[in-house]
Structure 1
Amino acid sequence: MAAPPVSLPASGVDWTALHNFAALRGQLRVSFTPHCNIACWFCHNEGDVPPPLTRQDPAQRPRPQQLDADAYLAVIGSLMNAGLKRVYFTGGEPLTSPIARPVLEGLTEPGPDASYTLITNGTRIRTHRSWLARTHLDKVKVSLHYFSDASLRAIAGTRIGIGTVLDGIEVAREIFERVELNTLLQRENAHEVRQILDFALERRLPVQFIELVGTDFNEGRANSAVPADEIIAHLRTLTSDEHIEVAGVGQGRRVFRIDGIEIDVIHRDLGRHHVGQCGTCPVRSRCVEGFWALRVDHGGGIQPCLLRNDLRADVKDLIADPARLARTVAGHVAAFTEGTL
């Protein structure tokens, strides 16, 4: 399924697009592994083949691992030096990867304007709590798309119990100052969304409710997607503190504040930031994301959109030259925003 890598830009680079992206709080999303110990049906796996498809058809395999821990640290350092400040670590499930520990332990102090966030399903936090506590992670974001063994099995195809996930959240709260939750709205968890909200509010955890992003991987169950209208209506019974944030990059958010806890909802009605390639993108009509992240994958690629592997640039041969790598990425972002890729 992988498209051939795009050609790399020339060395004369305009840094404006990359610096603007960083100033608008664009994310650098770093995938440690395409593998996961569960298999959520909607998983997009940051643009790679997700675990549910590999389970169904072993011939569909994700990209092979190409980066070691030193390579990851070099890429992260290069791009942070170039201006990117918000780094998110993903997978698959990042804590299933042996790369996670040496990379996260090897991170330098992020500085006052930067941050490191781990995105996890929560099932491995207790196992790794001793070394996680020694990292410079600022935040852990736990995906909580279920609130019972039955919904966890229906959504994630696993026999792991919900107790393991909830325990992981509690351990994260013990280790880190900031823990957040995110929940994808779907028919399989519609009866539990208010329970998830109550769980978050009781523990004073910010939570984000998200409408489904349609991809080729989950189109077979597109009828599971549900709108955010019901949870928005419920939140309005709990608070009048509501506003809309439409950032210069990424999705618009409807933000509620309940007793000081931020609850936000991402849905199609609020718009998103489209640039360059997005203008003629064949999947734009079903995209709710816009351009809000640069994705670094385990195969040594960087791309500005999870739905467009044809825009992926292979940079693994540039890792030994951080300055050239940064210039290449800056040129790639400029070409994307100018619509010339």
Structure 2
Amino acid sequence: MLVDRFGRKIDSFRIAVTSRCNYQCIFCHREGMMNNPGNEALDAGDYGFLTEVAVKHGIKSFKLTGGEPLVRSDIVDIVREIATYTRDVSMTTNGSLLLEKAGLLAEAGLNRINVSIHSLKPPVYRFITRGSTLLEKVLKGVDEALNHGIKVKIDFVVMKVNIDEVKNIVEYASGKGLDVNIIELIPLGTPQDVYRDQHVIVDPVIEFLEKNSIAKTVREFQSRPEYIMPSGIKVDVVKGYGNPALCSRCTRLRLTPEGWIKTCLFIDKPIVDISRELKNRDEKGVINGIKRAVYLREPFFKPG
């Protein structure tokens, strides 16, 4: 098992397979790669080899993200390669291409997916995504994923423009048996004027959940408060900025599209380049790079 200098075990990889996206959301942080070109240097076999090596050292969970991962023409192959070595392969997506690809992804081994639905009101959805008119298609994509046995979770970034929809999102999710992440807007990647105009603290959301839930727990991963609703769904509150409690239980490494390891979302500069080792199928080189990144990890937000 990999453990960093702060006693945090490392058991998951968040893999940005592309920086390309067919949306232009007002708060996109590009997985903390704001100043990196995001060249897609790795192919499906490279991701499979990374997984093969990483699982030998206790990394169990692999989440594909972007950009929008579904814009990659080989995304099904990437999922299939990763799923060869782990049963826990998941994805974050805006859902715009899910209707066409859900069946193929399920067949390849994808078992969980986070779909970003930041509003159920078409005008608000268009405002947040800066022009997208695909909300109805996204909702159909959610149903298609469920029909193919993929577990779906909704990601909802709460802002002034949509905070009045929290109840509706929870009701929508409850009706379909979907868990929800309610995420506080962070300044990373968000233009200052947008952050100033749209940021809200999540206290009113927490009050709503405290009042309407039947139980509350705290997840081990990132110390996330988790509320159990009467329908049985779970709603996590994610406060990613200025939150030492979250950092103290972060168990994740990140990989950029170029094949660099990042140790934290908020650190813009990648730390360790393992692209050549992946291409050369150099197992020792890959694990040495992973261990180097683990050693360099530290909580971005610290108590006090």
Q: Normalised by the shorter chain, which TM-score bucket?
A: 0.7 to 0.9
Question: Do the aligned residues in 2 keep the contact of 1:145 with 1:184 (CA within 8 Å)?
Answer: yes
Q: Give the 3 Å change call, closer, same or farther, for CA 130–216 of structure 1 in structure 2.
A: closer
Question: Do the aligned residues in 1 keep the contact of 2:212 with 2:229 (CA within 8 Å)?
Answer: no
CA distance in 2, matches of 1:298, 1:89: 11
Query: Which residue identity does 1:334 align to in structure 2?
Result: Y
2:238 to 253, 260, 266: 266
Matched, 1:118 2:104: no
Report deviation, 1:205. Answer: 0.8
Match in the other structure for 2:43: 68
Query: Which residue identity does 1:259 align to in structure 2?
Result: S
1:301 to 233, 253, 260: 260
Deviates more, 1:212-221 or 1:155-164: 212-221
Report deviation, 1:265. Answer: 1.3
1:186-205 → structure 2 map (5 Å cutoff): 186-205=159-178
1:233 to 200, 204, 207: 207
CA distance in 2, matches of 1:67, 1:251: 32
Question: Do the aligned residues in 2 keep the contact of 1:31 with 1:297 (CA within 8 Å)?
Answer: yes
Match in the other structure for 2:70: 95
Report deviation, 1:97. Answer: 0.8
The one-character-per-residue Cα deviations of 1:123-181 (angstroms, maximum 9, x if unpaired) are: 10111133113121121111111112211111011232310111111111111242111
Match in the other structure for 1:151: 124
Report deviation, 1:61. Answer: 7.0
CA distance in 1, matches of 2:109, 2:157: 28
Question: Do the aligned residues in 2 keep the contact of 1:151 with 1:189 (CA within 8 Å)?
Answer: yes
CA distance in 2, matches of 1:202, 1:81: 39
1:169-184 → structure 2 map (5 Å cutoff): 169-184=142-157
2:275 to 316, 324, 335: 316
Matched, 1:250 2:222: yes
Match in the other structure for 2:4: 17
Q: Give the 3 Å change call, closer, same or farther, for CA 227–265 of structure 1 in structure 2.
A: same
Match in the other structure for 2:54: 79
Report deviation, 1:17. Answer: 2.6
TM-score, length-scaled by structure 2? 0.87
Query: Which residue identity does 1:101 align to in structure 2?
Result: V
Q: Give the 3 Å change call, closer, same or farther, for CA 251–322 of structure 1 in structure 2.
A: same
How many residue pairs match? The answer is: 296
Q: Give the 3 Å change call, closer, same or farther, for CA 122–326 of structure 1 in structure 2.
A: same
Query: Which residue identity does 2:286 align to in structure 1?
Result: L
Report deviation, 1:203. Answer: 0.9
The SS at the match of 1:72 is helix
Report deviation, 1:198. Answer: 0.9
The SS at the match of 1:169 is helix
Q: Give the 3 Å change call, closer, same or farther, for CA 214–131 of structure 1 in structure 2.
A: same
CA distance in 2, matches of 1:103, 1:220: 37
Matched, 1:331 2:303: no
Match in the other structure for 1:56: none
Q: Give the 3 Å change call, closer, same or farther, for CA 230–269 of structure 1 in structure 2.
A: farther
The SS at the match of 2:107 is coil
Query: Which residue identity does 2:38 align to in structure 1?
Result: R
In structure 1, runs of 5+ residues without a counterpart are 1-13, 50-59, 276-289
Question: Do the aligned residues in 1 keep the contact of 2:112 with 2:151 (CA within 8 Å)?
Answer: yes
Question: Do the aligned residues in 1 keep the contact of 2:209 with 2:227 (CA within 8 Å)?
Answer: no
Query: Which residue identity does 2:238 align to in structure 1?
Result: I
Cα RMSD (Å) = 2.7
TM-score, length-scaled by structure 1? 0.78
